[in-house]
Amino acid sequence: MKRISIIGGGISGLSVLHYLKQQLGEAADITLFEREDTAGGTIRSFKKDGCLFEWGPNGFLDNQPATLQLIDELGLTGQLIAASPTASQRYVQIDGRLYPVPMTPAGLIRSDLLSWRDKRALIKGLFKRNVSTDCSIYEYVSRRFSPAIAENLVDPFISGVYAGDIERLHCCAFPKLKGKGFKKSRLHSFKEGMGQIIQAMEERYKNHIKTNSIVTSIRPEAGITILAVPAYAAAKITAALNPTLSETLAQIVYAPVAVAGLLFKQDSFKRKPDGFGYLIPSREHKEILGVLIESNVYDGRADKTQVMLRILLGGMHNPGIISDTLERILAKAVKEIDTTYGLISNPIEGFVKFWPQAIPQYEMNYPSLKYAIAQETAQIPGLYLCANYLDGVSFNDCIKNARSLALAIQAK
């Protein structure tokens, strides 16, 4: 019988557990160790006073078959909710003004977000080929399109995903920039929030999950060990086993992010928050990365008399967020909403979740780091890595990569 240990109970670790149990059944003794008192990692949904606050990701795109299949296998398909079509409009904030992000070619032509020169550059750039992607996202977009497109369109979007710096992020962080096209997709979550899928897996595999279990070192020769923890945690665990691997893992940089939730009465604003929300380019030099109007996006995030907003702060351009108190973060979030929409009354409730090391950064040295990590890991029989610092940071990426790893282990 195979003995398999999974270290880390985020979406990567839980998904690996699910797939291994599905494929190996009782032919393997599988245990997942989680240091916190509950699994989920950055995914957790908190309910209070009729509203739902997401600690981490608020949804996923329906363009990854592995994710939809996993949801079906967990019996959660009926619990899915799609983002409201009325919240499809997104904005970019520049100099305090909200500019609608063009969603169609006609909208692009009418948009004030780009000059006519940049609009022409965008159209011409779509037909450019053989533009090197061995560079930063900023360099690639500037060469293929224009610097203004990089700064006004791509920068806020990438900040919304990575909380990163497009002058430091390698193009491998966002491979679709290569121009192979985008599959039309729609944002989804669950009726009870993203935490619902975590709860489903915790309940199904409760006999295989040990919470409040801190792992400081490993001996893969005793069986199969899967490290499904952040790179900095994996670096500590592998320090004695393979110092070179540990040192390489420790070089993966993480962006700090604070997430603030604000619940208001509907009549609290001079200007009603509309659409999906807005993102802010880094050249605006603000600590706020963006604002999501959660109650517009999904039903059930607040009652009909309320508005639920989620404000993202920090990122690689604002590392000082680490030294902020939760009270100051909340105050900055309220000030941002007041500046943008005009507050008539204060929020009913405020929530803050702080992630000092939130999102791994696929920076310019990432390709060489990833190669070195793979080389060192291959020298340790029975050791596997599965986390969002490898092959994509999204919810969908984690599930897809967990499935691939489980299939590889089954084949051996």
Over the stretch 63-111, which tens digit does the pLDDT of each residue have?
999 999 999 999 999 999 999 999 999 999 999 999 999 878 788 888 8
Continuous segment of H or E residues that includes residue 69: helix 65-73
Domain 101-183 has CATH 1.10.3110.10: yes
Q: What is the pLDDT of residue 278?
A: 97
Burial classification of residue 372, based on how many CB atoms lie within 10 Å of its CB (0-12 exposed, 13-18 middle, 19 or more buried): middle
Tokens of 22: 């599905």
User: Using one digit for the tens of pLDDT, what is the confidence trace for 314-332?
Assistant: 999 999 998 999 999 999 9
Whole-number average pLDDT of the chain: 94
- 2-43+65-73+192-251+365-411 and 101-183 share one CATH topology? no
- Tokens 């990569």 correspond to what residue? 401
pLDDT average, residue stretch 145-159: 94
Just give the CATH number of 2-43+65-73+192-251+365-411.
3.50.50.60
Q: Which residues contact 348 (CB under 8 A, 6 or more apart)?
A: 49, 263, 264, 265, 306
Tokens of 193: 């929030």
pLDDT at 176 over 80: no
Give the model's confidence band at 183: pLDDT under 50 very low, under 70 low, under 90 confident, else very high: low
DSSP for 264-288, written as a single string: EEGGGBSS---SSEEE--GGG--SE
Give the model's confidence band at 2: pLDDT under 50 very low, under 70 low, under 90 confident, else very high: confident
pLDDT at 182 over 90: no
Domain ranges across the chain: 2-43+65-73+192-251+365-411, 101-183
